[in-house]
Amino acid sequence: MLIPLSRATLATCGPKAASLATLLQADLPVPEGIVIPFATLATPANATGAARDAGDARAARAAGDGGDHRAARAAGAARAAGAARAAGAARVAGDGGDGGDGGDGGELTAGQVVELARWLVEAGDPVVAVRSSASDEDTGPASAAGQYDSFLGVQGIDAVVDAVRACRASLWSPRATAYRKGSPTPSMAVIIQRHVDADVSGVLFTSPDGPTLIEASWGLGPSVVEGRVTPDRYEILNGKVTRTIADKPTTLIRDGSRLVTRPVPTAQRRTPTLTDPIAVHLATLAHQATTTFGTPQDIEWAITANTPWLLQSRPITTHPPTPKPLTPPDPPTPPALTTPPEPPTPTALTTPPAPPTPPAPTTPPAPPTPPA
């Protein structure tokens, strides 16, 4: 039986799905979906091959070549599905038993496939995200973040079923097995939600007495979550926004059934991803989530067509990321001191010329002799 996401519980669907259900019940914006709950037992030995092939998807994402992520991921999912089918053949399909410490097989029951196909048809065959919800994910003591595989941009019943199988098979990947350090294999539920073709996405962290921190970049969330770009950083406290805008050279988008990395136009690389009012609105939603759960939250979010969506919420188990300090530019070098020029030498004083000698007085002419 499939469970509407809004009715998911910790006991049947794991912490990640239960947290999303809590957000939906609090009328916070979460994409609609359903959950395939904890299922029947399968031994790690039977699922090892499925886990190895499911790891191809993770390898494709980690390759970092900026190309098509979908083809390699789909090939890994298909091989994982085949191995998971082989693992599931040894048990009775549809017994609905508790996964318990033995974990869950990758195989879906026939009834689950029918229910899943019906939900997809009723929803209009949407593009969906297929996300893990293991019993050790998103808990207070530990998040298990990134240990299990999730898939974006999946469409059609065959592709969704293969993604579900690969998601469950990642319980036994080498990375997840090493993370558990010998502890029992957890149970795995799987969330199927409407995919959000994000214009902007990122993560945010709430604080009981400090600012809310938001990290944001263009396109889908893995750009920020997986550290592919340096995101913009916003700190919101009492409605005041402080922001640091980064150079964001690439974006991850969905192109049909593929996820591809594209260059960001030069003029947009240093453009803020969020306006101050939107940043404040996201912080408000985050604080509503924090109030609902009663503890600071680490939230993944996305915005499409100016509508914000909360995609995941977990308790903060580590300190929020600290940005690298900006190195101030070196101060300009002052010009070298030079010896001031010698003052001009004053003109030597000279003896003034003697005043001109007045002309010698002359004897006036004698007066004329009067006539006789």
Per-residue pLDDT tens over the stretch 215-250: 999 999 999 999 999 999 999 999 999 999 999 999
Average pLDDT estimate for 104-122: 87
pLDDT in tens, 338-365: 455 555 555 444 444 555 555 555 555 5
Largest CA distance in the chain: 182
Average pLDDT estimate for 243-262: 95
| Residue 208 pLDDT | 86
Comparison of pLDDT for 287 and 95, the residue scoring more: 287
How far apart (Å, rounded) are the C-alpha atoms in residues 169 and 333? Answer: 61
Average pLDDT estimate for 304-308: 95
Angle at 149 between CA 10 and CA 204, to 5 degrees: 70
- Sorted by sequence, the CB contacts under 8 Å of residue 212 that are 6+ apart come out as 204, 205, 206, 235, 236, 237, 283, 286, 287
Give Cα separations from 78 to 208, 225, 242 (angstroms): 45, 25, 46
Length of the chain: 372
Average pLDDT estimate for 259-280: 97
Asked whether the predicted pLDDT for residue 18 surpasses 60, the reply is: yes
Which neighbouring-strand residues pair with 237?
A: 240
- Sorted by sequence, the CB contacts under 8 Å of residue 75 that are 6+ apart come out as 56
Average pLDDT estimate for 208-219: 95
Q: How many CB atoms lie within 10 A of CB 226?
A: 13
Structure tokens, 299:
């939230």
Q: Is 12 exposed, middle or buried (0-12, 13-18, 19+ CB in 10 A)?
A: middle
| Residue 371 pLDDT | 60
Query: What percent of the chain shows pLDDT beyond 70?
Result: 65
How far apart (Å, rounded) are the C-alpha atoms in residues 313 and 327? Answer: 33
How far apart (Å, rounded) are the C-alpha atoms in residues 111 and 114? Answer: 5
Asked whether the predicted pLDDT for residue 81 surpasses 80, the reply is: no
Nearest CA to 254 among 131, 128, 121, 161? 128
Residue 369 banded pLDDT, cuts 50, 70, 90? low
Query: What percent of the chain shows pLDDT beyond 90?
Result: 55
pLDDT in tens, 271-301: 999 999 999 999 999 999 999 999 999 999 9
Mean predicted lDDT score pLDDT of the chain: 77
How far apart (Å, rounded) are the C-alpha atoms in residues 40 and 54? Answer: 19
Residue 159 banded pLDDT, cuts 50, 70, 90? very high
Q: Is 342 exposed, middle or buried (0-12, 13-18, 19+ CB in 10 A)?
A: exposed
Helix/strand/coil (H/E/C) assignment for every residue in 3-70:
EEHHHCCHHHHHHHHHHHHHHHHCCCCCCCEEEECCCCCCCHHHHHHHHHHHHHHHHHHHCCCCCECH
Nearest CA to 138 among 323, 311, 288, 321? 311
| Residue 126 pLDDT | 96
Average pLDDT estimate for 66-93: 37
